[in-house]
Amino acid sequence: MESLDEHLEAALTRVEQAGRRRVLRPARLTGNGRIEREGRTLLDFSSNDYLGLSKHPMLTERAREWTERYGTGSGASRLVTGTSDAVLALEAKVAAFKGTEAALIFASGWQANAAAIPALLAALPGSAVFCDRLIHASMHAGLAIAGARQHRFRHNDLDHLEEMLATKGTDAPARVILTESVFSMDGDVADLPRLVQLARRHQAFLFVDEAHATGVLGPAGAGLSATVPGGVDVVMGTFSKGLGGFGAYVAGSRALIDWLTNAASGFVFSTALPPAVLGAIDAALDLVPSMDAERSHLIALADRLRSGLAGLDIDHGASATQIVPAVVGAEADAMSMAAALEAKGFLAAAIRPPTVPTGTSRLRLALRAAHTEADIDGVLEGIAACR
């Protein structure tokens, strides 16, 4: 009999032969939009610390204060002893930020989607799910756990969704639409007002992932769902990107939150987030509403980058946010461009299948408020030189 390691080495060899074996490479965010990797300082277009909050003294200070007050661990899951007054106050603050009745904190965005989606569907037995083809892996995980009946519509093609809503799952007792407000690999946005309209017209509930919008887009950084009054039934987002910390939230009605508190497995059976992380979230929520200047700066930088790419005849898809793809097509081209850019001092991750569809391999450029116009011009020059 072969050993477990022999099986694993064989599986790894298959991944390697497909050119898809990944390895971990240490890196450290150093502030001002830079990152240290293997002894070099690189201009970083790969992290999601969009507002630079992960190094903000108010976050680090509050993380320290909450640790000193409450300790390094929260001791148990939320339903046992892991709910302090501070967590409840923080959840009320998240709800106020999102403009919803209530909110619940999860251990991570992945866990929030993987837990909240099956919990929601458990309350809607037999429901039909309509999801954008490009939703995040964690939403797919949630759907797989739920064993959901799925209909996938073409990315951001709401005519396709409408056609499906009219013809599929019409006998289902409930229908749910799942999408992201900002798509993580394309930086394009979903048309939430039309989605809300479609959901109402076709008796469906709408679930929106705001991982990349939280802190960055919408009024006071509250995300794009905040621009559609009373429209979105369930909204989730992370504290791990624009808010510079870790963890995630699901926000919506009090009934939704009470149900998730009872039924979301990844919430019920997982230890509450540690006080340091909660403290950092608390500080980020104090800061984010006043960061309009940083948000406008990010949008201006993204416009500059997109026009520069267009000038180089490089497709940036439908990007309308701080995430800008430079679509090069072939996997090998994306890989070699990323390597050439790294040699020149720029970190721009190559994203390839299965993360994105075949033939759309790209550099994913994530902009940060700490970047300057000169940084954008620099990476554009780098891209031009290594095509």
Residues that bind ligand PMP (CB under 6 A): 108-110, 113, 136, 138, 180, 184, 209, 211-212, 238, 240, 248
Number of residue whose CB is nearest ligand PMP: 109
- For residue 54, indicate whether it is catalytic: no
Q: Would you say 261 and 79 are in contact if contact means Cβ atoms under 8 Å apart?
A: yes
Query: Exposed (0-12), middle (13-18) or buried (19+): which is 47, by Cβ within 10 Å?
Result: middle
Distance between CA 37 and CA 60 in Å, rounded?
23
CB of 83 to ligand PMP, least distance (A): 21
CB of 112 to ligand PMP, least distance (A): 7
Distance between CA 79 and CA 267 in Å, rounded?
9
CB of 84 to ligand PMP, least distance (A): 22
Instruction: Give start and end residues of each alpha helix (H) in 264-291.
Output: 265-268, 275-287
Cβ-Cβ contacts under 8 Å for 355 (sequence gap 6 or more): 185
- For residue 296, indicate whether it is catalytic: no
Looking only at the bridges linking them, the beta strands covering 205-209 and 234-238 are parallel
How many other C-beta atoms can be found within 10 angstroms of the C-beta atom of residue 179? 25
Instruction: Identify whether 354 is preceded by a cis peptide bond (ω within 30 of 0).
Output: yes
CB of 206 to ligand PMP, least distance (A): 16
Query: With respect to ligand PMP, which residue has the nearer C-beta, 111 or 361?
Result: 111
Distance between CA 332 and CA 350 in Å, rounded?
10
Query: With respect to ligand PMP, which residue has the nearer C-beta, 84 or 238?
Result: 238
CB of 293 to ligand PMP, least distance (A): 25
Q: Of these residues, 44, 91, 132, 180, which one is catalytic?
A: 180
- For residue 136, indicate whether it is catalytic: yes
DSSP state of 133: T
Instruction: Give start and end residues of each alpha helix (H) in the chain.
Output: 4-17, 57-70, 85-98, 109-122, 137-146, 158-167, 192-201, 254-263, 265-268, 275-287, 292-311, 331-343, 373-385
Q: What is the DSSP annotation of 57-113?
A: HHHHHHHHHHHHHH-S---SBTTTT---HHHHHHHHHHHHHHTSSEEEEES-HHHHH
Query: With respect to ligand PMP, which residue has the nearer C-beta, 108 or 360?
Result: 108
DSSP state of 239: S
Query: With respect to ligand PMP, which residue has the nearer C-beta, 136 or 175?
Result: 136
Query: With respect to ligand PMP, which residue has the nearer C-beta, 107 or 302?
Result: 107
Query: With respect to ligand PMP, which residue has the nearer C-beta, 238 or 321?
Result: 238
- For residue 344, indicate whether it is catalytic: no
Q: Of these residues, 127, 138, 181, 184, which one is catalytic?
A: 184
Rounded (5°) CA angle 46-50-53: 120
Query: With respect to ligand PMP, which residue has the nearer C-beta, 239 or 308?
Result: 239
Distance between CA 132 and CA 139 in Å, rounded?
10
Q: Of these residues, 98, 140, 155, 212, which one is catalytic?
A: 212
Q: Would you say 46 and 371 are in contact if contact means Cβ atoms under 8 Å apart?
A: no
- For residue 48, indicate whether it is catalytic: yes
CB of 131 to ligand PMP, least distance (A): 12
CB of 260 to ligand PMP, least distance (A): 16
Query: With respect to ligand PMP, which residue has the nearer C-beta, 62 or 212?
Result: 212
- For residue 212, indicate whether it is catalytic: yes
- For residue 241, indicate whether it is catalytic: yes
CB of 125 to ligand PMP, least distance (A): 25
Cβ-Cβ contacts under 8 Å for 87 (sequence gap 6 or more): 78, 105, 272, 278
Distance between CA 269 and CA 289 in Å, rounded?
33
Q: Of these residues, 136, 140, 297, 371, which one is catalytic?
A: 136
As annotated, the active-site residues are 48, 136, 180, 184, 209, 212, 241
